[in-house]
Amino acid sequence: MEGHYISLSINVLALFLLTLYVPQAAGQRQPLYSALYVFGDSTIDPGNNNFLATVVKSDFPPYGRDFPNGRPTGRFTNGRLVTDQLSELIGLPDLLPASLDPEFRGQKLLTGASFGSSASGYADSTSIPLDVLPLEKQVENFRLYKARLAKQFGHETANKTVSQALFAISGGTDDFANNYFLNHITRKKYTVEQFQDLMLKSLTVFIENVYNEGATTIAIVGLPPFGCLPSQITLHNIVENTCFEEFNEVASSFNSKIKALLEKIKPHFPGAVIAYLDIYDKILDIIKSPSKYGFEEARKGCCGTGLLETAILCNPSSISCAEPSKYVFWDSFHPTTECYQIIANNLFQQALVVFNSPTRRN
């Protein structure tokens, strides 16, 4: 009974806070955070790879089909990313800019950016072969951004903006799906557990680096059930044609390790709140019960056959579905913007509880 009341209290708190912070007309409320800074992979990259010499790009149709004017921006989906929608939910602009975009300047500097890079991961061996930004380079770019912010608006404003911002990192899928389980050299060098530990070391260094730059609110987004991605089913479980549970177990075990790591290291970062945000359960539920969320298709993406296409394989010659809103996935690897909206809402509610708890306020 006591557990029931605790659960009820948490839900009531989340609902109360949600009523305070749901988006309203511009200017009617203060943002929950001064800025949003995100790091990671294609799920949060709004176009940084457009400015890199890499084949991992999506700055061409049909990507961006449901973006304003049908414009491809480098986002690996048909519209806005989860981070765009999360930015709007916390009261900031509804498009989170790419840090490498030449248009990222002026007043835009004050409300945050994405430093993420599609196909990047926690391990350097995931990022470097594809000429995308490894995590260390993403943090270096943040430092350069912070210097720009200070130069234009002053050190006091820069430090205040950073200290009151929400930092988030979302990655890991590429480390496993496009590196470990496709690279015999990596598998020969590490067991799954050893590779997970290598990724955790990278995560720890990331937390140390952004904390030293002034971050006080840091969200670590866990791995999704990547064994349910259409591409992974096609490549690894086509006979049964269902989620590849071995991969899901790897994701689940890594998420458990993240949570254990955060509990261990939190005392080393006084004044900061570092929290785990789960996406595994919500995404798995969407995939297992798509009709509950208004979707009709969860096995394949909207672009092309939807079974393997992503990046250049999803191109102007590809035939895409008539109604992406009925699909969980846009291509074989990335959700539709409609699915991202559900994920963003869920992450937002988790963040409200975690970062506005009595522990957070103290």
DSSP 197-228: HHHHHHHHHHHHHHHHTT--EEEEE----GGG
Band of residue 63 on the pLDDT scale cut at 50, 70, 90:
very high
Catalytic residue, from 41, 84, 174, 331: name it.
331
Does the residue 25 lie in any domain?
no
Q: What is each CA distance from 107 to 111, 122, 126, 139, in whole angstroms?
A: 8, 31, 34, 21
Does the residue 11 lie in any domain?
no
Does the residue 308 lie in any domain?
yes
DSSP 303: B
Whether residue 22 is predicted with pLDDT greater than 50 in this model: the reply is: no
Does the residue 173 lie in any domain?
yes
Whether residue 273 is predicted with pLDDT greater than 90 in this model: the reply is: yes
pLDDT at residue 356 in the model: 75
Whether residue 306 is predicted with pLDDT greater than 90 in this model: the reply is: yes
Residues 321 and 300: their CA atoms lie apart, in Å, by 11
pLDDT at residue 28 in the model: 52
42 is catalytic: yes
Catalytic residue, from 34, 42, 99, 127: name it.
42
331 is catalytic: yes
Whether residue 11 is predicted with pLDDT greater than 60 in this model: the reply is: no
Rg (CA), the chain: 20
Digit-coded pLDDT (tens) for 320-353:
999 999 999 999 999 999 999 999 999 999 999 9
Q: Is 91 left (phi over 0), alpha (psi -120 to 50) or beta?
A: left
Provide the token pair at 28.
Answer: 């009617």
Q: Name the domain count of the chain.
A: 1
Question: What is the number of alpha carbons within 13 Å of residue 147 lying toward its C-beta?
Answer: 6
Digit-coded pLDDT (tens) for 229-256:
999 999 999 999 999 999 999 999 999 9
The CATH number covering residue 305 comes to 3.40.50
Mean pLDDT of 15-27: 41
Mean pLDDT of 267-293: 98
Does the residue 209 lie in any domain?
yes
SS3 of residue 190 by DSSP: coil
Residues 309 and 231: their CA atoms lie apart, in Å, by 8
Pairing label, strands 273-277, 217-221: parallel
Does the residue 21 lie in any domain?
no
| Averaged pLDDT score across all residues of the chain | 92
Does the residue 240 lie in any domain?
yes
Residues 325 and 241: their CA atoms lie apart, in Å, by 23
Catalytic residue, from 118, 170, 231, 334: name it.
334
Q: Show contacts of 16-19: CB within 8 Å, 24+ apart.
A: 17/352, 17/353, 17/356, 18/348, 18/349, 18/352
Does the residue 2 lie in any domain?
no
Residue 246 backbone dihedrals phi, psi, to 5 degrees: -60, -40
27-41, 54-68, 128-142: which range is least confident on average?
A: 27-41
Band of residue 29 on the pLDDT scale cut at 50, 70, 90:
low
Whether residue 2 is predicted with pLDDT greater than 50 in this model: the reply is: no
The residue range of the domain holding 127 is 43-361
